[in-house]
Amino acid sequence: MLEGYKVVKFISGFYYSIFSSKQVEYSLDYKTHRPDNCGPLALFDSIQSVKQFLLNNTMFTVPYIYKCQYKESTDRRLWHSTYCGKIMYYTYTPIGTVFADWIMPTEYISTIKE
């Protein structure tokens, strides 16, 4: 099993990806699979990559960091399908990003930015 780190935000009792708008929910010890009509999920390869990302992106206040297990995806870019069927690709992925078909948070790490 591969291990990585997921940065999430807490909204109304649920954890969501720091980049998403409440579309993909994460829970401790629960596998979150990529949604239909969506590219791979994303997480970081190391805690050092997470810290560098947070130092460079101070707009994210009080992020939660989870150590995770994941299944690597064969897709190598992030995308989603819009309501009218268009494919939208993301051009920015932080250094240390890895792509996954599913992610399972296994351990709470921190809420602090160092």
3-state secondary structure of 55: helix
Question: pLDDT of 13-65, one tens digit each?
Answer: 888 888 766 578 999 999 999 888 888 999 999 999 999 998 888 777 678 99
| Neighbouring-strand partners of residue 67 | 5, 107
Question: pLDDT of 72-98, one tens digit each?
Answer: 999 988 887 777 777 777 778 899 999
> 66: closest CA among 24, 1, 9, 22?
9
- Residue ranges of the domains in the chain? 2-110
> 77: closest CA among 63, 91, 62?
91
3-state secondary structure of 62: coil
Cα-Cα-Cα-Cα torsion 65, 70, 76, 81, nearest 10 degrees, comes to -80
Structure tokens at 106: 């296994």
Greater confidence (6 vs 113) lies with 6
Rounded to two decimals, the pTM is 0.86
Tell me the torsion sign for CA atoms 108, 22, 98, 73. positive
Greater confidence (109 vs 57) lies with 109
